[in-house]
């Protein structure tokens, strides 16, 4: 990273080399993990809002206007399975590039991208369905919470898909290798985060209700 | 990393100085821009404070009508917290942290530039509200329903957008500082040899990463409420007004430690240098800093005692608890000065002034932790007094100490010490004249955030005193500005290590070169430069020529 520290390592006692920048986690990956921590807290704020409102309603939940029902889109199971398995696929791709397999990386990331797009397509159908049922961002606290939480998650999925697309386009020009693929690590970590948030959203909004 | 090595060398082609500053990724230039921008916002926020104090000097409406008054105190608080203290401390962290840990720059220099440039533009966004129908007027806490669409106009939306952007800047800055501290320390700079300022910046950055996104979620919910018919904070639509307070203070209380911890760090740099002693109880200090960071997330509802919606004993006890590590620090500082060879430079005077003022602010904070007292004092001038004692007597005094202490490093020039002492004397007297009477006003029942009060309430004398004090502070700031202006026209006489200091930023030239260090002392304690000068330690091996100029 820095010429200063690089040069100073030469003939230094081992004790003095402690804390040197070339050991441990890669700086860029650390930055991504810290960023993900802040993202987790953003969603934590939304979840806290959800549960503190829900606690006030007890069994009268979801709180919706008279005559409106929250019917679950059965496709949500498929979409959840797709998103969950996409985490496995992206991890497999990461494993391939760690071994220097560029083609494996590209294939895995192309597949992950498709799975992410499929999830977004599900979300579009879900929103249409809910709109037909009369549930929307305005008008009810359940609608506000539901659309804000899933909406921000969807935006993060889109961000992840864009990130994967960038990795894919760089991967297709052969920019990654077994030694040099920190961007792949970072985007994979981000994708896992998006996936885990969805697990909590699925359990909260569709299973627990 | 590979890309930085390929970038052209400094001075490879001629650029104008303006272009150089606008496009720089050098942490020192970015730090100076942060500090300059923060001082400009300080002036704006300060003028609003003077306007508020002028209005309050007498009952009735003299200077600001109630609408403008509400905007003035809202924007005063918002500006001072988000656009003065936070960016100011981020600026000092930017400048000082890489130097103190012996690094050549921050971990992500371009993200660093981004986090700075967001600040002035989000500030402009916020202030554009004055031209677009009036600024936000619901206080810096923007409690619902006052901040909902029914009661607040476009100014509130611009407030939300401005703070959201400001938060992005804070989060990116915190990530950058953490990555820098974890990854770019020079050989030998172990975690328990980090200068205390770096430790406080580290804990502050963790607080930022965990607290600011929660505020962001609240800002987003309020924005949706206001613009898209959301129901989050609207009881009529099934939402919960107190929810805003929870979300806001879950951010807001760690925020006060975000505003004070780096100030603690500054004081812990200044006191040892001018006492000629190491900081007393380094490890206890680190532990106290970390425990403040942890406990800081468990006290937020003490801002909400009177809502009746929170568990009083828990939040009361945690609030008392958090005063323990703060007390530990107070003893650390006093013991550092004890039997030291004290040198009362301006920086030292501000540090001692900090101790006195912050002690008062801390003590009256501990008072308010007791729920019965809090019920009596909630939303009175007592609270205004408390928060200004810790934020102005605390953070702002530390910022002044930092300004005098590090100015020679940043510019190669000493700020004038005689003017500095005049500045300190006026500001110290002004601070206590302004904020001490507010304690008494609070106890006698004067509410905060009012533009007018009854002539027979008996509050006018103390208000006049406070207003006079605030003018003194304003005058003291003029002295500082003149001092900076005059100094920058003078010669560079400071030298590399003018204070005979302990930490690595003084081991390079003043101002440091773009790449910071040609050679580093061996690092065997938290005072590597002291060891080099007095302890017989040597330099680390020098860099081969031609190396080291690649940040």
* pLDDT 10s digits, B347-363: 999 999 999 999 999 99
Share of chain A above pLDDT 90, in %: 74
**Are the CB atoms for B80 and B42 separated by under 8 Å?**
yes
- The pLDDT tens digits for A157-207 are 999 999 999 999 999 999 999 999 999 999 999 999 999 999 999 999 999
Mean pLDDT score, B129-155: 94
Chain A CB contacts of B108 below 8 Å: 27-28, 31
Q: Tell me which residue in A16, A39, A138 faces B230 most closely, judged by beta carbons.
A: A138
- Report residue B416: phi and psi, to 5°: -60, 125
- The one catalytic residue in B27, B28, B185, B329 is B329
Catalytic-residue membership of B169: yes
Chain A CB contacts of B514 below 8 Å: none
Q: Tell me which residue in A1, A24, A42 faces B213 most closely, judged by beta carbons.
A: A42
Q: Tell me which residue in B103, B171, B224 faces A148 most closely, judged by beta carbons.
A: B224
Q: Which residue ranges of chain A lie beneath pLDDT 50? A: 1-21
Q: Tell me which residue in A25, A45, A144 faces B214 most closely, judged by beta carbons.
A: A45
Structure tokens at B83: 């656009």
Structure tokens at B68: 């403008």
Catalytic-residue membership of B336: no
**For the range B329-333, what are the long-range contacts, defined as Cβ-Cβ under 8 Å and sequence gap of 24 or more?**
B329/B264, B329/B268, B329/B285, B329/B288, B329/B289, B330/B355, B330/B358, B330/B359, B330/B362, B331/B280, B331/B281, B332/B268, B332/B279, B332/B280, B332/B281, B332/B284, B332/B285, B332/B288, B333/B267, B333/B268, B333/B271, B333/B280
pLDDT at position B23 is: 94
Catalytic-residue membership of B140: yes
Q: Which residue of B has its CA nearest to A64?
A: B238
- The pLDDT tens digits for B211-230 are 999 999 999 999 999 999 99
Mean pLDDT score, B61-83: 96
**Are the CB atoms for B201 and B100 separated by under 8 Å?**
no
pTM given for the model: 0.92
- The one catalytic residue in B159, B257, B282, B382 is B257
pLDDT at position B7 is: 52
Mean pLDDT score, B302-315: 93
Mean pLDDT score, B120-148: 95
- The one catalytic residue in B448, B505, B510, B526 is B448
- The one catalytic residue in B27, B28, B29, B76 is B76
- The pLDDT tens digits for B475-530 are 999 999 999 999 999 999 999 999 999 999 999 999 999 999 999 999 999 999 99
Average pLDDT of chain B, as a whole number: 94
How far apart are alpha carbons B78 and B137 in whole angstroms? 11
Q: How far is B112 from chain A (nearest CA, A)?
A: 12
How far apart are alpha carbons B424 and B412 in whole angstroms? 22
Task: Select the more confidently predicted residue: A57 or B88.
Answer: B88
- The pLDDT tens digits for B458-472 are 999 999 999 999 999
Contact B240 A53 (CB under 8 A): yes
């Amino acid at each position: 990273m820095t010429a200063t520290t690089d040069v100073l390592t030469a003939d230094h006692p081992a004790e003095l080399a402690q804390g040197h920048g070339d050991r441990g986690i890669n700086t860029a990956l650390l930055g991504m993990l810290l960023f993900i921590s802040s993202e987790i807290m953003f969603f934590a704020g939304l979840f806290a809002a959800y549960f503190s409102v829900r606690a006030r309603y007890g069994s009268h939940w979801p709180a919706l206007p008279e005559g409106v029902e929250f019917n679950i889109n059965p496709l949500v199971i498929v979409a959840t399975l797709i998103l969950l398995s996409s985490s496995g696929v992206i991890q497999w791709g990461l494993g391939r590039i760690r071994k220097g397999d560029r083609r494996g990386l590209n294939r895995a990331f192309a597949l992950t991208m498709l799975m992410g797009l499929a999830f977004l397509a599900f979300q579009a159908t879900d929103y249409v369905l809910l709109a037909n049922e009369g549930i929307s961002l305005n008008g009810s606290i359940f609608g506000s919470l539901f659309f804000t939480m899933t909406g921000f998650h969807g935006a993060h999925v889109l961000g992840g898909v864009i990130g994967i697309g960038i990795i894919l386009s760089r991967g297709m020009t052969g920019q990654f290798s077994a030694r040099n693929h920190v961007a792949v690590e970072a985007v994979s970590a981000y994708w896992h985060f998006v996936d885990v948030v969805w697990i909590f959203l699925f359990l909260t909004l569709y299973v627990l209700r | 990393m590979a890309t930085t090595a390929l970038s052209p060398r400094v001075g490879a082609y001629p650029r104008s100085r303006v272009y150089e500053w606008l496009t720089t990724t050098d942490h020192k230039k970015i730090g100076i821009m942060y500090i300059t921008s923060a001082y400009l916002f300080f002036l704006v926020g300060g003028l609003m404070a003077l306007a508020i104090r002028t209005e309050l000097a007498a009952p009735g409406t003299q200077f600001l009508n109630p609408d403008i008054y509400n905007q003035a105190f809202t924007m005063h608080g918002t500006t001072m917290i988000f656009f003065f203290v936070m960016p100011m401390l981020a600026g000092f962290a930017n400048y000082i942290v890489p130097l103190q840990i012996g690094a050549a720059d921050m971990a992500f220099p371009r993200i660093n530039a981004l986090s700075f440039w967001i600040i002035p533009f989000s500030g402009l966004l916020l202030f554009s509200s004055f031209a677009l129908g009036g600024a936000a007027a619901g206080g810096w806490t923007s409690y619902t329903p006052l901040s909902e669409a029914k009661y607040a106009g476009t100014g509130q939306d611009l407030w939300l957008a401005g703070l959201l952007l400001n938060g992005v800047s804070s989060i990116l800055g915190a990530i950058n500082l953490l990555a820098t501290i974890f990854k770019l320390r020079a050989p030998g700079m172990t975690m328990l040899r980090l200068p205390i300022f770096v430790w406080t910046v580290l804990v502050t950055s963790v607080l930022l990463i965990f607290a600011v996104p929660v505020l962001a979620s609240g800002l987003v919910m309020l924005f949706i409420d206001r613009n898209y018919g959301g129901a989050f904070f609207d009881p009529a639509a099934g939402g919960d007004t107190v929810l805003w307070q929870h979300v806001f203070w879950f951010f807001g209380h760690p925020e006060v430690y975000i505003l004070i911890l780096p100030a603690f760090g500054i004081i812990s740099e200044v006191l040892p240098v001018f006492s000629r002693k190491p900081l007393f109880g380094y490890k206890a200090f680190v532990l106290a800093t970390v425990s403040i960071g942890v406990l800081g997330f468990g006290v937020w509802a003490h801002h909400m005692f009177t809502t009746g919606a929170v568990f009083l004993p828990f939040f009361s006890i945690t609030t008392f608890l958090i005063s323990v590590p703060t007390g530990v620090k107070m003893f650390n500082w006093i013991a550092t000065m004890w039997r030291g060879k004290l040198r009362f430079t301006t920086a030292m005077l501000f540090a001692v002034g900090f101790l006195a003022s912050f002690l008062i602010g801390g003590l009256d904070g501990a008072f308010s932790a007791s729920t019965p007292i809090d019920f009596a004092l909630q939303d009175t001038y007592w609270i205004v007094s408390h928060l200004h004692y810790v934020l102005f007597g605390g953070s702002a005094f530390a910022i002044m100490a930092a300004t005098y202490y590090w100015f020679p490093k940043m510019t190669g020039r000493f700020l004038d010490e005689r003017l500095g002492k005049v500045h300190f004397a006026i500001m110290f007297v002004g601070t206590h004249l302004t904020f001490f009477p507010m304690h008494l006003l609070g106890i006698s029942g004067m509410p905060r955030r009012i533009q007018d009060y009854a002539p027979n309430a008996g509050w006018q004398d103390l208000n006049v005193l406070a207003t006079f004090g605030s003018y003194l502070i304003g005058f003291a700031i003029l002295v500082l500005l003149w001092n900076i202006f005059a100094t920058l026209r003078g010669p560079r006489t400071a030298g590399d290590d003018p204070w005979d200091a302990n930490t690595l930023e003084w081991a390079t030239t003043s101002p440091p070169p773009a790449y910071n260090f040609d050679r580093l002392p061996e690092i065997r304690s938290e005072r590597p430069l002291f060891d080099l000068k007095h302890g017989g330690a040597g330099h680390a091996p020098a860099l081969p020529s031609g190396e080291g100029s690649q940040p």
